[in-house]
Amino acid sequence: MNKNSPVLLILAAGAGSRYGGLKQLDGYGPNGETILDYSIFDAIRSGFRKVVFVIQREHLDLFETRIVPKFRSKIEIGYAFQDIHDLPAGLPSPVNREKPWGTGHAVLSARKEIFQPFAVINADDFYGQGAFQTMADELQQLDPQSSNFFLMGYQVANTLSEHGYVSRGLCGSQNGFLTDIKELTKITKTGDRIHYREERSDQSLDPDAIVSMNFWGFTPRMFEFIEQGFKRFIRENVNNPDAEYYITRPVDEAIKDKLANVKLLATSEKWLGVTYIEDKAAVVQGIRDRIEKGLYPESLALESN
């Protein structure tokens, strides 16, 4: 692989508890294509030359049979396994914990697979080819040791589900760069009002507020920042079965400690995604609309084999 070719890291270890199953392997395209299929298709035509899946080890066979054969001849494939016992040296193992540690730990799980600038996406979010091209163009210019990172920002009003609450990273910015980012875990819309729960109070949110949909651009330096923050997090939460180490936390810490700069990237693409099974119909229709506009072929298999 060309050393200037970026890597795509796909977070696919979630269990889909609110969806009711493995939504990252569910079909949304006219021939049963997954959102993952469209993301990899967009990544290949945008210049990415390797994709790394972060998954649970027990799902390896599913990915090897359902996803990888379509793209093995087009892009290098790698895996990282998110394991709750995969901790920095010297840290205690958790007691009575079953679920993964969160998106920050998921990214850290790939530290032995990635040595180039890389993008991070969710397996169950449809970002669009324009967003991938913008990110790839930026990453191809980076030195692997750089601390200049990127985030694709979206208006919160365009990222909500009609069927329940969602989690988003709320972005503060100045002159096109992040000044802070805060994980909001229960954002919902009631009538015309967008709001979220913070501790015991209900807070309103501007519909134009910029949020993260976990489409990041990093270099391997980010693994250092994540590991440092994760050590502190584990010491505080090793026996808390519900604590999650979101990727927004080490990013926020690196910005405030002046260790990294994070540029907000703009895209004209409209995000599609699934949190609940009821969201599926809108994603299916959104993909159909893009096919009819000529943005995607009727069958990705014809393009990928």
pLDDT digits (tens, 9 = 90+) for 255-268: 999 999 999 998 87
Please tell me the distance from the alpha carbon of residue 285 to that of residue 269, in angstroms, as a whole number: 16
Q: How confident is the model at residue 96 (pLDDT cuts 50, 70, 90)?
A: confident
Mean of pLDDT values over 98-122? 94
84-119 burial, b if ≥16 CB within 10 A, otherwise e?
A: eeebeeeeeebeebeebbbbbbbbbbbbebbebbbb
Using the structure block, give the residue that is written with the tokens 């584990």: 234
- The answer to whether position 252 is within a domain reads yes
In a domain, 128, yes or no: yes
* Residue 305 pLDDT grade (very low, low, confident, very high; cuts 50, 70, 90): very low
Per-chain mean pLDDT for the chain:
90
Please report where in the chains the tokens 């299916």 appear, as a residue.
Answer: 284
CA distance 183 to 197: 11
Could you give the 3-state DSSP secondary structure of residue 66?
helix
Residue 1 lies in a domain: no
CATH code, domain with 292: 3.90.550.10
Do the domain assignments include residue 87? yes
3-state secondary structure of 261: strand
pLDDT confidence of residue 20:
43
How far is residue 98's CA from residue 76's CA, in Å, rounded to a whole number? 31
The answer to whether position 2 is within a domain reads no
What is the Rg, in whole angstroms, of the alpha carbon atoms belonging to the chain?
18
pLDDT at 1: 53
Q: Would residue 266 count as lying in a domain?
A: yes
Q: Is the pLDDT of residue 18 over 70?
A: no
Residue 44: phi and psi, rounded to 5, are -60, -45
Distance CA(118)–CA(225), nearest Å, equals 15
pLDDT score recorded for residue 114: 96
Confidence (pLDDT) at 19 = 42
As for how many domains the chain has, the answer is: 1
Does 299 map to a domain?
Answer: yes
pTM of the entire structure? 0.91
Domain interval for residue 165: 7-304
Within-domain flag for 146? yes
Let me know: does 36 contact 12? Beta carbons within 8 Å: yes
176 in Cβ contact with 138 (< 8 Å)? no
Mean per-residue pLDDT, 47-73:
91
Mean pLDDT of 37-60: 94
Give the whole-angstrom CA distance, residue 244 versus residue 250. Answer: 12
> CB neighbours of 258 closer than 8 A, spacing ≥ 6?
none
pLDDT tens digit string along 121-173? 999 999 999 999 999 999 999 999 999 999 999 999 989 988 888 989 999 99
Give per-residue pLDDT as tens, 127-137.
Answer: 999 999 999 99
In contact, 102 and 245? CB cutoff 8 Å: yes
Contacts of 230 (CB under 8 A, 6+ apart): 87, 88, 101, 104, 105, 108, 245, 250
Q: What is the pLDDT, as a whole number, of residue 267? A: 80
